[in-house]
Structure 1
Amino acid sequence: MKITCWNPIRYALAVAALASLSGCDWVLFDSKGAVGIAQRDLILVCIGLMLIVVIPAIILSIVFPWKYRASNKNADYAPDWAHSTKIEIVVWGVPLIIIAILTAIVWKSTRELDPYRPLDVPGEPLHVQVIATDWKWVFVYPDLGIATINQLNFPVDRQVEFEITSNSTMNTFFIPQLGGQIYAMAGMRTKLHLVANEVGEYRGMSGNYSGHGFSKMNFIATASTDEDFDRWVKQVRSSAPIVFDFATFKRIAQPSHGHAVVHFAKVEPGLFKRVIDQFIGVGENAKPQVLQISEPDTSSKE
């Protein structure tokens, strides 16, 4: 009995799989910032270099079985064949060339895309301190004296210098259309420099699983004109005059899902440092911890 591999059910499954790809989010290739564009181009270049090997390998995996099939009497039969200089050159030469090119690209891009390295953007950067909690984002603008929860605003074409930490488990601060993610870790401070080249709203998220509220740990990053940003700052400053101090932060940091956007018109100075210091014991009021080592009891017991 003849068995047909491509029956109607297989065709239906193939069509369904292709249709499902229409819902894929290609946001990484729709970059709207200088850092994101550079990273997108780097990904495309690396994919292109890898395809130099992958595409010929796929083609030859079809050509060889077809050419040397049992029914092809014209195929060369060389049972004593053991070496080909041409094949050795291709097999070793092409990968070595690709590795050399990738090495140069990685060396160059590692320096240019270092998240700690300030961007070559004119003007004073906007400083934003980011604190990851369960499961929300806290943004402190130390130079402006304001803070928000789950809302990030900044002017377009202005460099944003992020300082990032976590109040609990490890997370990653990630705005896909603007640049790569970087870890947020308790007791540590990481940095990231980004810039938006276009006015718009961009999805922000955590790229690291941190518990059952992780899926709703999102925010909107809004790049606006200077006028709109100044208007937004005035709006935040006109909100309820609640001082966002460390005690208030500890209450907000309690686990919650889908937390609403909140504005704070005043922020306790040094709040970001206090969040970090609570894990390493070097706060302003902390006392140095001394390790007590007791002397061994040398007296003999009878």
Structure 2
Amino acid sequence: MHALLSRLRYASVGAAVFLSGCNMEVLNPKGDIGADEKSLILIALGLMAIVAIPVIVMVLAFAWRYRASNKNATYAPTWAHSTRIEVVVWTIPAIIIAILAVITWRSSHTLDPYKPLESNAKPVTIQVVALDWKWLFVYPDYGVATVNEIAFPTDVPVNFQITSDSVMNAFFIPQLGSQIYAMAGMETKLHLIAREPGSYAGLSSNYSGEGFSDMHFQAIATSQDGFKDWIAKAKATPVVLNDETYQALAQKSMKVPVAYYGSVAPGLFGKVLNKYMDGMQHEGLPHEGPPHEGMSHEAMSMDMHHHADGDAMSSPITAAKAEK
């Protein structure tokens, strides 16, 4: 037993050393979604601990009580069943699973990343394109774009429209919450809000090749005046993001520094989406010219069908299926 306790002591010290280098950003939220997700994690952890902690304690207690040197321990080689034990080991986990099921169902709807946040403030829209290996951000309402840096006011919802011009990535700002995938030919959505000013680390949380480990960006939450200054700084940059400069940017590169584009070619985000849509048009761009050859009238109608929430989707493959 003494040897076991010594091993546990050394394991605890080792875990503390390794965890000392971890930045527990998920457990230090700065926005409503992140705070709700933290509460969900802690509630689930507490419920699971109701089973895990007693089991750990009993394993240690049984090992000590029934050690070979304890001649006073009851020896019952024919023991096979106890109704009381069966009731305990089945009833308590069943109750915990039922509670977790209810919490999961409710939180899946409450924290739906596609669900707009309720606020009196006008949201800021940011279009996100995952590239190899950097993030491109377009502000359609302001006509500017950036690489590996975004900014937005505190207490204002941020509506992210996300896609990829490469392999699948995952967009994640841990302190604000809700990882969501970026996929070529698909538009995923995410709604976040920051309640405290600061610079929050963002990253790709899905392995996407050689430069994945450096695919980071900064999310700056600031005041309204600070946001206006940041937009003015971007607009003052003489570089234009058009088809030519975009093609150069889209080439594979690693550890790309922050960059600003003072103006953006209209419809750039839609063009990136449409590259992979086999002739069907994204909702953000008007249909130009005759229908795609080979597409029936019914297919064209389905291409722009409307959902109950009023959003027009560009493909018969819905965003919900894309998430799966």
Shorter chain as denominator, the TM-score bin is: 0.7 to 0.9
Which of 51, 55, 58 is matched with 2:56 structurally? 58
Deviations 1:221-274 (A, max 9, x none): 00000011011111211221x432233212211111121222112112211110
Q: Secondary structure at the match of 1:180?
A: coil
> 5 Å matches for 1:139-154?
139-154=137-152
Which of 108, 111, 126 is matched with 2:109 structurally? 111
1:252 aligns with 2:249: yes
Deviations 1:27-86 (A, max 9, x none): 111111110111111111111111111110011111123223344343333344333221
Query: Residue 180 of structure 2 aligns to which amino acid in structure 1?
Result: I
Query: How has the CA–CA distance of structure 1 residues 57 and 9 changed in structure 2, closer, same or farther, with 3 Å as cutoff?
Result: closer
Contact kept, 8 Å, 1:137 with 1:217, in 2: the verdict is yes
The runs of 5 or more residues in structure 2 that have no matched partner are 282-287, 296-324
Q: Distance in 1 between matches of 2:128 and 2:178?
A: 15
Q: Distance in 2 between matches of 1:16 and 1:65?
A: 24
Q: Distance in 2 between matches of 1:44 and 1:9?
A: 28
Q: Distance in 2 between matches of 1:143 and 1:15?
A: 52
The worse-fitting range, judged by mean Cα deviation, of 18-27 and 91-100 is: 18-27
Q: Distance in 1 between matches of 2:15 and 2:93?
A: 33
1:23 aligns with 2:21: yes
Give the equivalent residue in structure 1 for 2:292. 288
1:266 aligns with 2:263: yes
Aligned-residue CA RMSD (Å): 2.4
Q: Distance in 1 between matches of 2:276 and 2:90?
A: 51
Give the equivalent residue in structure 1 for 2:314. none
Q: Distance in 2 between matches of 1:275 and 1:286?
A: 21
Q: Secondary structure at the match of 2:88?
A: helix
Q: Distance in 1 between matches of 2:83 and 2:108?
A: 37
Deviations 1:274-293 (A, max 9, x none): 000011133546972449xx
Report the TM-score, using the length of structure 1 for normalisation: 0.88
Q: Distance in 2 between matches of 1:145 and 1:211?
A: 31
Q: By how many angstroms is 1:193 displaced?
A: 0.4
Deviations 1:177-220 (A, max 9, x none): 10121000000000000000100000011001111111111111
Query: Residue 141 of structure 1 aligns to which amino acid in structure 2?
Result: Y
Identity %: 49
Q: Distance in 1 between matches of 2:20 and 2:82?
A: 46
Which of 76, 85, 88 is matched with 2:86 structurally? 88
Report the TM-score, using the length of structure 2 for normalisation: 0.82
Q: Secondary structure at the match of 1:23?
A: coil
Deviations 1:101-151 (A, max 9, x none): 101100110001100001123221111100000111110111111111111
Please say which structure displays the higher CA radius of gyration: 1
1:47 aligns with 2:45: yes
The runs of 5 or more residues in structure 1 that have no matched partner are 292-302
Q: Distance in 2 between matches of 1:18 and 1:151?
A: 33
Contact kept, 8 Å, 1:155 with 1:229, in 2: the verdict is yes
Query: How has the CA–CA distance of structure 1 residues 48 and 174 changed in structure 2, closer, same or farther, with 3 Å as cutoff?
Result: same
Query: How has the CA–CA distance of structure 1 residues 56 and 214 changed in structure 2, closer, same or farther, with 3 Å as cutoff?
Result: same
